[in-house]
Structure 1
Amino acid sequence: MSDDRFKQAEFATIIGIVGNVVLAIVKGVIGMMANSKALIADAVHSASDVVGSLAVFVGLRVAKEPPDDDHPYGHGKAESIAAIIVAVLLFLVGLEIGKSSIESFFEEIHPPKTMAIFAVVLSIVVKEAMFRYKYNVGKRIKSDAVIINAYEHRSDVFSSFAALIGIVGAIIGGYLQIDWLIFLDPVAGIFVSLLVLKMAWKLGGDAIHNTLDHVLHDEDTVPLRETVLNEPEVKRIDELHAREHGHYVIVDLKISVDPDMTVEEGHRVGKRVKKRLMEHENVRNVFVHINPYSPEEND
């Protein structure tokens, strides 16, 4: 990871940590003062985002390390691993929020106080701004970990909106003496938990997919193939696999050249092809195998 890319990711992650700490404290304190299960659940969600952002921060630090003897392909997958950790934490938080909200139906319940509304509205505004900022940064620097961390903020927006509906409904129910409306607060908490679980499942699945040596689809490798075939001595591409390794790609390539070439000449062709492929922004390394060209077969 380049220094500039890391600095952008690091700064975005620090903003997320600070923002989540502040929101978790504000929503937690006001949630207890206002007697709102939905707001307390939302505060727990924000607190989990702090842990998630820390995991992303560590993952980015590791991904920045250059290749070594034990990791010749680099450490790019550390970002995807961090994303998986965040998704697991998010899933556990969703379960806890749902459990706490369901238990509220078996306890004496009172409508929340009006101050809870202001805390939720603040959370929605701040979280949406954080999502947009971190999503744009993640897309720009091609970081799964930063993007998945951004979606944590977006899930907070949805959960806060659900909490807002539940809190307002419960307050109206208490004011109008409509008992069933008071239960909208814990119902909102359950809805929040389902949103969190769904988000964690989707994002975790995407991160796992990227970790398992996913290769680019044929349409995504067109620019790479064109680069290879622009080398005059390359007769044919026998095989090309571009493996995603976090934010960068490792290319495994087999090409056919004139069978009458010397080993040294074939080696030079391979070096030129590798050099050209390395000029692509997302290509970190290229491994080239040279085959003797034969019209009848692919080796």
Structure 2
Amino acid sequence: MLANQRYAKAEAAAWMALLGNIGIAAIKGGIGMLGSKALLADACRSASDATAAFVSLAGLRRCRQLGAFEAPVPAVKGRTEGASGVFASILLMIMGLEIGISAIKSIADGVEDGPGWPAVTTVIIAFFIKEIFFPVKERRLDMYASIAAVVGTGVAALGEPLALPVLYYFDPAASLVIVVIVFANGYRIASMSVLKNQHIQEEPADINELKTAVQRIEGVVTVEELRAKEHGHYVIVDVVISVNPRITVLEGNEVARRVKYFLMRRFLHVTDVIVAVEPYDPGYPYKSNHDPNQEQMPTLMQ
């Protein structure tokens, strides 16, 4: 796949995440205004996901224009992109703070009614829509936020049919949990925005997981180098593998194709994989072309 095609594919995924999260945030916010603070906080979290997608899209477009991950960023353009991301993250954190203060006041003053079942339904449907149409790298904080929203709205909605007004407090309590997650996302987005490059290196644990997966693929002798650059929720992997030096170029390309196919199927957040193939060191355990005494030594064909 050509470089332009790779970046076009990543940009399409970022656009889908941006527009999808904006739509989900608008629906959650609209229904949350009817009486669910947890749903309002979750709308703010979806808006933070949209902001992360925006920062990711800006970085992808810049990388596409400059032609490389490590290409220097023009000063004015870099400052503009960074300021936009920081401003958006601060705005989201302010919104989250307002929702949190409102929830605390509700708890202090007493909650007289709970959210309706439309709020519960909205949370559940939005969760499945994201899982089906916007599959991203699993993040525990996002999962915790979804669970908090479902539990908060669901239990609070049971308050009226069960005649237990105390259950109404679950909704504002859940919103406080989600607000904390919104602040964590806002900080992460701001950090991404002020970096010199609009992408960050994957965590060592994630790198090791990717390396382990590649190492298990038939035909790969060793993983010489692996880098994974994250653009918001999406990752582009650059890997150098070594293969048996006695196989053909066609066979080496087939191993590279298997590596790319497997990683993109196994890790849904990986948008593209760039594989470079190198021959393994022709020393032991391979036969030497210059030592006739090693003619019967077995080769390592995988």
1:185 aligns with 2:177: no
- Percent identity of paired positions between Structure 1 and Structure 2: 28
* SS of the residue 1:173 aligns to: coil
TM-score normalized by structure 2? 0.54
CA distance in 2, matches of 1:31, 1:73: 44
Q: Is the 8 A contact 2:156 2:169 kept in 1?
A: yes
**What are the ranges of 5 or more consecutive residues in structure 1 without an aligned counterpart?**
136-149, 225-241, 250-280, 284-299
| AA of the residue aligned to 1:47 | A
Question: Partner of 1:116 in structure 2?
Answer: 119
Question: Partner of 1:105 in structure 2?
Answer: 107
| TM-fit CA distance, 1:195 | 2.9
Question: Partner of 1:11 in structure 2?
Answer: 12
| TM-fit CA distance, 1:72 | 8.9
| TM-fit CA distance, 1:191 | 1.2
Residues 29 and 97 of structure 1, relative CA distance in 2, 3 Å threshold = same
Question: Partner of 2:21 in structure 1?
Answer: 20
* SS of the residue 1:183 aligns to: helix
Q: Is the 8 A contact 1:67 1:73 kept in 2?
A: yes
CA distance in 1, matches of 2:161, 2:200: 57
CA distance in 2, matches of 1:160, 1:118: 12
* SS of the residue 2:224 aligns to: helix
Q: CA RMSD, aligned part only?
A: 4.7
2:160 to 174, 177, 189: 174
Residues 245 and 197 of structure 1, relative CA distance in 2, 3 Å threshold = closer
Q: Is the 8 A contact 1:28 1:43 kept in 2?
A: yes
**What are the ranges of 5 or more consecutive residues in structure 2 without an aligned counterpart?**
212-222, 239-273, 277-302
| TM-fit CA distance, 1:169 | 1.3
| TM-fit CA distance, 1:207 | 8.2
Q: Is the 8 A contact 2:107 2:169 kept in 1?
A: yes
Deviations 1:227-250 (A, max 9, x none): xxxxxxxxxxxxxxx9x899699x
Residues 223 and 204 of structure 1, relative CA distance in 2, 3 Å threshold = farther
Question: Partner of 1:272 in structure 2?
Answer: none
Residues 170 and 162 of structure 1, relative CA distance in 2, 3 Å threshold = same
| AA of the residue aligned to 2:33 | M
Structure with the higher fraction of residues in helix conformation: 1
CA distance in 1, matches of 2:42, 2:103: 11
Question: Partner of 2:299 in structure 1?
Answer: none
Question: Partner of 1:53 in structure 2?
Answer: 53
CA distance in 2, matches of 1:213, 1:181: 42
| AA of the residue aligned to 1:172 | L
| TM-fit CA distance, 1:20 | 1.3
CA distance in 1, matches of 2:72, 2:230: 8
Q: Is the 8 A contact 1:120 1:163 kept in 2?
A: yes
5 Å-filtered alignment, 1:226-265, equals none
Residues 245 and 121 of structure 1, relative CA distance in 2, 3 Å threshold = closer
CA distance in 2, matches of 1:127, 1:52: 15
5 Å-filtered alignment, 1:1-299, equals 2-33=3-34, 35-66=35-66, 73-75=71-73, 85=86, 94-107=96-109, 109=111, 110-130=113-133, 132=135, 134-135=136-137, 151=139, 155-200=141-186, 223=224, 281=274
